[in-house]
A = this chain, B = another copy of it.
Amino acid sequence: MTLLDENRLFPSEPNARAVARRLYTNVRDLPIISPHGHAEPRWFAEDEPFPDPAQLFVVPDHYISRMLYSRGISLEQLGVGSTPLEDPRRIWRIFAENYYLFRGTPTRLWLDFAFQELFGLDTRLKPLNADAYYDAIMDKLKAPGFRPRALFERFRIEVLATTDSPLDSLPYHETVRRSAFKGRIIPTFRPDPVVDPDFPNFVENLGSLGQMTHADTASWQGYLSALRQRRMEFKALGCTATDHGHPTAATADLGVDSAALLYQKIASGAGDQAERELFRAQMLTEMAAMSLDDGLVMQIHPGSFRNHNARLFERFGRDVGADIPMPTNYVQALHPLLKRFGNEAGLTLIVFTLDESTYSRELAPLAGHYPCLRLGPAWWFHDSPEGMMRFREYTTETAGFYNTVGFNDDTRAFLSIPARHDVARRVDCSFLARLVVEHRIDEDEAGEIASELAYELARKAYRL
Alpha-carbon separation in the docked complex, A5 to B443 (Å): 13
Whether A331 contacts B345 in the complex (CB less than 8 A), given A16-B12, A368-B67, comes out as no
On whether the beta carbons of A385 and B397 are closer than 8 Å, the reply is yes
Q: Which residues of B contact A402 (CB under 8 A)?
A: 71, 100-101
Residues of A342-357 whose CB lies within 8 A of B:
342-343, 345, 354-357
Alpha-carbon separation in the docked complex, A354 to B331 (Å): 13
Q: Provide 24 A-B residue pairs closer than 8 Å at the C-beta atoms, listed in order of the A residue.
A: A7-B439, A9-B438, A9-B439, A12-B13, A12-B15, A69-B369, A71-B371, A72-B345, A101-B400, A104-B440, A105-B396, A108-B441, A309-B338, A309-B343, A312-B343, A324-B365, A325-B331, A326-B331, A326-B332, A326-B362, A360-B387, A381-B397, A386-B396, A386-B397
On whether the beta carbons of B369 and A361 are closer than 8 Å, the reply is no
Whether A104 contacts B324 in the complex (CB less than 8 A), given A66-B368, A69-B371, A370-B70, comes out as no
Alpha-carbon separation in the docked complex, A66 to B397 (Å): 13
Q: Which residues of B contact A338 (CB under 8 A)?
A: 308-309
On whether the beta carbons of B12 and A124 are closer than 8 Å, the reply is no
Give the interface residue-count category, chain A: 35 or more
Q: How far is the CB of A349 from chain B (nearest CB, A)?
A: 12
Q: Which residues of B contact A105 (CB under 8 A)?
A: 396-398, 400
Q: Map CB proximity to B onto A368-385 as digits: 1 under 8 Å, 0 otherwise.
A: 111101000000011011
Q: Which residues of B contact A406 (CB under 8 A)?
A: none
Alpha-carbon separation in the docked complex, A441 to B382 (Å): 19
The 4 A-B pairs of least Cβ separation, nearest first, read A5-B439, A8-B439, A12-B437, A384-B397
Copies in the complex: 3
Alpha-carbon separation in the docked complex, A71 to B321 (Å): 37
Q: Is A252 an interface residue (CB 8 A)?
A: no
Q: Map CB proximity to B onto A1-30 as digits: 1 under 8 Å, 0 otherwise.
A: 000110111111101100000000000000
Q: Which residues of B contact A329 (CB under 8 A)?
A: 327
Q: Which residues of B contact A367 (CB under 8 A)?
A: 70
Q: Map CB proximity to B onto A95-106 as digits: 1 under 8 Å, 0 otherwise.
A: 000001111111
Q: Which single member of B8, B311, B368, B381 contacts A360 (CB below 8 Å)?
A: B381
Q: Which single member of B8, B369, B381 contacts A398 (CB below 8 Å)?
A: B381
Whether A13 contacts B13 in the complex (CB less than 8 A), given A355-B361, A356-B361, A402-B101, comes out as yes
Q: Is A249 an interface residue (CB 8 A)?
A: no
On whether the beta carbons of B442 and A124 are closer than 8 Å, the reply is yes
Q: Is A393 an interface residue (CB 8 A)?
A: yes
Q: Which residues of B contact A4 (CB under 8 A)?
A: 439
Q: Map CB proximity to B onto A303-329 as digits: 1 under 8 Å, 0 otherwise.
A: 001001111100000000110111101
Q: Which residues of B contact A399 (CB under 8 A)?
A: 70
* Chain B residue at minimum C-beta to C-beta distance from A446: B103
Residues of A430-464 whose CB lies within 8 A of B:
434-435, 437-442, 445, 448-449
Q: How far is the CB of A185 from chain B (nearest CB, A)?
A: 30
Whether A104 contacts B441 in the complex (CB less than 8 A), given A308-B331, A385-B397, A397-B384, comes out as yes
Q: How far is the CB of A249 from chain B (nearest CB, A)?
A: 13
Alpha-carbon separation in the docked complex, A365 to B397 (Å): 27
Q: How far is the CB of A251 from chain B (nearest CB, A)?
A: 13
Alpha-carbon separation in the docked complex, A41 to B137 (Å): 58
Alpha-carbon separation in the docked complex, A321 to B69 (Å): 40
Q: Which residues of B contact A321 (CB under 8 A)?
A: 369
Q: Map CB proximity to B onto A126-143 as digits: 1 under 8 Å, 0 otherwise.
A: 000000000000000000
